[in-house]
């Protein structure tokens, strides 16, 4: 933008070329810098906790000492023991190797669709969160602390739509005639109702 060549702003460049308009690239440069600084400030906490975010996709190579597990109510000792156990089980750690492969395939598909301007095809690609949840859901409950942390981190990024959908399902399940459901049974019904399979 600062050079005035507008290589990455094709529409603005096209407008300038077609109308011979004078574009104040300094104005846009300042706006872009402010936007970049705003994002950096807003997401500073995520940068500081990269290990916590990396954990949900690659729990086998994450250093638990670098993770911020405090907001999620995780017992650090139990988490470390569960991760040690998880690393020794080929079946379970294979799930995360498979997950990384699927995520790479998704990114390649997204890049291809974007390059070809196939915007509607992007909607048909499976959601990243669904793949990650699937990998964690496949683990048995003996890895509960790891699952709890993964679900906690993932729910930070869940869309409002998913939350609204879950609340709507909960209202349907726990109606006036089913008001005596326990929280455990309600949770089980919600999992069953919102699961994709």
Which pLDDT tens digit goes with each residue over 1-10? 777 788 888 8
Q: What is the dihedral of CA 176, 196, 166, 133, to 10 degrees?
A: 140
Res. 43 pLDDT band, cuts 50 70 90: low
For residues 109 and 101, the answer to whether their CB atoms sit within 8 Å is no
Mean pLDDT over the full length of the chain = 83
Measured CA to CA, the distance from residue 161 to residue 120 in angstroms comes to 19
Tell me what the mean pLDDT of segment 155-173 comes to.
71
* Residue 162 pLDDT > 70: no
| Count of domains observed in the chain | 1
Q: Is residue 3 part of a domain?
A: no
pLDDT of residue 71: 79
Q: Is residue 33 part of a domain?
A: yes
- Domain that residue 173 falls in: 10-195
* Least reliable range by pLDDT among 11-25, 50-64, 98-112, 132-146: 50-64
Residues 99-112 have pLDDT tens digits of: 999 999 999 998 89
Q: Is residue 5 part of a domain?
A: no
Q: Is residue 187 part of a domain?
A: yes
Q: Is residue 1 part of a domain?
A: no
Q: How do the residues of the chain divide into helix, strand and coil, expressed in percent and rounded to 5?
A: 75, 0, 25
Residues 175-184 have pLDDT tens digits of: 878 878 888 8
Measured CA to CA, the distance from residue 147 to residue 191 in angstroms comes to 15
Q: Is residue 4 part of a domain?
A: no
What is the percentage of the chain residues whose pLDDT exceeds 90?
Answer: 10
Measured CA to CA, the distance from residue 191 to residue 148 in angstroms comes to 15
DSSP assignment of 161-183: HHHHHHHHHHHHHS-GGGTT--H
Q: Is residue 2 part of a domain?
A: no
pLDDT of residue 159: 53
Q: Is residue 147 part of a domain?
A: yes
* Residue 160 pLDDT > 60: no
* Residue 21 pLDDT > 80: yes
* Residue 48 pLDDT > 80: no
pLDDT of residue 104: 92
* Residue 31 pLDDT > 80: yes
């Amino acid at each position: 933008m600062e050079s005035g060549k507008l290589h990455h702003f094709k529409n603005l460049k096209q407008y300038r070329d077609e109308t011979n308009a004078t574009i104040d690239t300094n104005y846009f440069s300042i706006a872009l810098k402010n936007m970049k600084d705003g994002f950096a400030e807003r997401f500073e906490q995520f940068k500081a906790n990269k290990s916590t975010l990396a954990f949900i996709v690659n729990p086998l190579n994450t250093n638990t000492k670098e993770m911020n597990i405090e907001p999620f109510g995780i017992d650090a000792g139990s988490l470390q023991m569960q991760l040690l156990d998880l690393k020794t089980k080929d079946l379970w750690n294979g799930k995360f190797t498979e997950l990384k492969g699927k995520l790479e395939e998704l990114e390649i598909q997204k890049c291809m669709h974007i390059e070809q301007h196939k915007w509607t095809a992007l909607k048909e690609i499976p959601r990243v969160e669904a793949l990650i949840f699937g990998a964690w859901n496949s683990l048995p409950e003996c890895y509960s602390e790891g699952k709890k942390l993964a679900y906690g981190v993932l729910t930070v990024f869940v869309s409002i739509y998913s939350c609204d959908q879950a609340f709507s399902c909960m209202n349907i399940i726990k109606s006036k005639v089913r008001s005596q459901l326990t929280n455990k049974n309600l949770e089980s019904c919600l999992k069953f109702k919102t699961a994709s399979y």
